[in-house]
DNA sequence: CTTTTAGGAATGAATATTCATTCCGCATAT
DNA sequence: ATATGCGGAATGAATATTCATTCCTAAAAG
């Protein structure tokens, strides 16, 4: 199989950044895991920060795409929207178990560049717009959209942390129940 | 005002560790912020890791105490338990706005020593025991206790991240509503 | 078909920088 | 005068980055 060195580097970096954070990950560590010389990394990326931002932008774009993909055509059924978003994020995590934690643990750090920040802000803005519509319709409880996002998104992130640590086993049934819990948290009562 | 250098160091370290993480925080940074010579830190702590673990243990102990303090005497009213735990955590955050994020962002890192890990595990075990009781009584939805903790605790952590970043303003009314949301997420329906 | 050769890719040792930790001289208190 | 606490320059280890060299591939020449 022909593997592309640049991709090998990105894959190794994702694992390490997710597990040890930006500052806890060294270039030699990445080179080792990618089975590549340390110098090779600098053929593809200007420096450690540029590598980091490339990776961040890639995964935020993916997440954004997967959530927006096949978005329910019925624009008034918020219950459906919530289910869609929830299970698309699940699919995202199942596609790469480290990416969500990588994004979450670095989304407000000081080495994010302009473009990374903008991509992430845009994604949040999308979620916000969905929730605002739900609030207008009276289907969702009338708290600030950011608070609602924090509740659902915070729960998801924390749950997958447990699953990555093998403390909690992911089963389809559990996921359905958890989605229900999240919905109960934010629906209008 | 007589200030204790050791406490100055601990306070500065808390801020920096919370904002930049363990690896992103250097000893000179801590010394600067604490207005102390770098060498002085080593009069009080064996090394950076020891300083970190002292701090972690201090704050987990505080959190645990504040949550267990004045725990409702009615041992069957889970609704009350939830409210108590929620608002005691709020009080903890208001006492020091960085401590919860400091704990959360470091609670599964590899430089935690045995004692730190045990203290944190004990705290989780306490929460777990409350939830298990609620499940037995049929007041709380029958998912794994760890999942329920993740939902509520994840939401709280994320919410305070927004408040620290001044994206969300903390008002008593908002907090009451959010507590309600969290309860709705985990109560039996 | 084999050999030569040019140019890009890859390497890892060398360099420059940053960081944790140590150490020594100064100041303050006893 | 001695002891104690402190600061911050000095040290050495770890780290990011560079660079001279080697390695591959694929096309040109024989």
Mean pLDDT for A164-170 is 91
Query: Does any strand C atom come closer than 7 Å to the Cβ of B111?
Result: no
Q: Do residue B168 and residue A185 have CB atoms under 8 angstroms apart?
A: no
Q: pLDDT by residue (tens digit) across A111-135?
A: 999 999 999 999 999 999 999 999 9
CB A56, CB A103: distance < 8 Å: yes
Mean pLDDT for B25-48 is 96
pLDDT, residue B126, reads 97
pTM of the complete model: 0.94
Q: Do residue A174 and residue B141 have CB atoms under 8 angstroms apart?
A: no
Does the pLDDT of residue A57 top 80, yes or no?
yes
Contacts of A32 (CB under 8 A, 6+ apart): none
Does the pLDDT of residue A3 top 70, yes or no?
no
Nucleotides of D strand lying within 7 Å of any protein CB atom: 5-10, 14-20
Map residue B14 onto helix, strand or coil.
Answer: helix
CA–CA gap between residue A91 and residue A99 (Å, rounded) = 11
Mean pLDDT for A44-49 is 95
Contacts of B153 (CB under 8 A, 6+ apart): A158, B127
Other Cβ atoms within 10 Å of A185 Cβ, number: 23
Other Cβ atoms within 10 Å of A31 Cβ, number: 19
Does the pLDDT of residue A40 top 90, yes or no?
yes
Q: pLDDT by residue (tens digit) across B90-103?
A: 999 999 999 999 99
CA–CA gap between residue A66 and residue A123 (Å, rounded) = 11
- A1 pLDDT band, cuts 50/70/90, is very low
CATH fold label, B56-186:
Tetracycline Repressor; domain 2 (1.10.357)
B contact test, residue of A16, A103, A176, A184 with most B CBs within 10 A: A184
Mean pLDDT for B17-33 is 97
Nearest CB partner across the interface for A146, out of B110, B167, B187: B167
pLDDT, residue B165, reads 86
Q: Which two tokens stand for residue B103?
A: 């704990």
Does the pLDDT of residue A154 top 80, yes or no?
yes
CB A186, CB A144: distance < 8 Å: no
CA–CA gap between residue B22 and residue A42 (Å, rounded) = 26
Q: pLDDT by residue (tens digit) across A82-95?
A: 999 999 999 999 99
User: What are the φ/ψ torsions at residue A140 (nearest 5 degrees)?
Assistant: -120, 145
Domain ranges of chain A: 1-45, 56-186
Q: Which two tokens stand for residue A130?
A: 């969905």
CA–CA gap between residue A6 and residue A40 (Å, rounded) = 9
> What are the counts of helices (DSSP H) followed by strands (DSSP E) for chain A?
9, 0
CB A104, CB A59: distance < 8 Å: no
CB B100, CB B63: distance < 8 Å: yes
Q: What share of chain A is helix, strand, coil (3-state, %, to 5)?
A: 70, 0, 25
Does the pLDDT of residue B37 top 50, yes or no?
yes
pLDDT, residue B157, reads 94
Other Cβ atoms within 10 Å of A180 Cβ, number: 17
Name every chain B residue with its beta carbon within 8 A of the beta carbon of A163.
Answer: none
Q: Residue A110 has what DSSP assignment?
A: T
Mean pLDDT for B59-86 is 96
A contact test, residue of B16, B181, B189 with most A CBs within 10 A: B181
Please say whether the structural domain B1-45 has been given the CATH code 1.10.10.60. yes
């Amino acid at each position: 199989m022909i593997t592309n060195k640049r991709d090998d580097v990105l894959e190794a970096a994702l694992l390490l950044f997710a597990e040890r954070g930006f500052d806890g990950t060294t270039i030699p560590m990445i080179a080792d895991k990618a089975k590549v010389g340390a110098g090779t990394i600098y053929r593809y990326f200007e420096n450690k920060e540029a590598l980091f931002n490339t990776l961040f932008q890639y995964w935020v774009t993916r997440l954004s795409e997967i959530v927006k993909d096949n978005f329910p055509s019925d624009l008034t059924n918020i219950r459906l929207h919530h289910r869609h978003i929830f299970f698309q994020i699940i699919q995202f995590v199942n596609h790469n178990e480290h990416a969500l934690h990588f994004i979450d643990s670095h989304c407000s750090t000081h080495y994010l560049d302009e473009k990374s920040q903008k991509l992430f802000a845009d994604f949040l803005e999308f979620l916000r717009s969905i929730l605002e519509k739900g609030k207008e319709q009276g289907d969702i409880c009338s708290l600030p959209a950011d608070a609602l996002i924090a509740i659902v998104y915070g729960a998801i992130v924390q749950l997958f942390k447990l699953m990555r640590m093998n403390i909690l086993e992911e089963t389809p049934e559990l996921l359905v129940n958890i989605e229900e819990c999240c919905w109960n948290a934010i629906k209008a009562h």
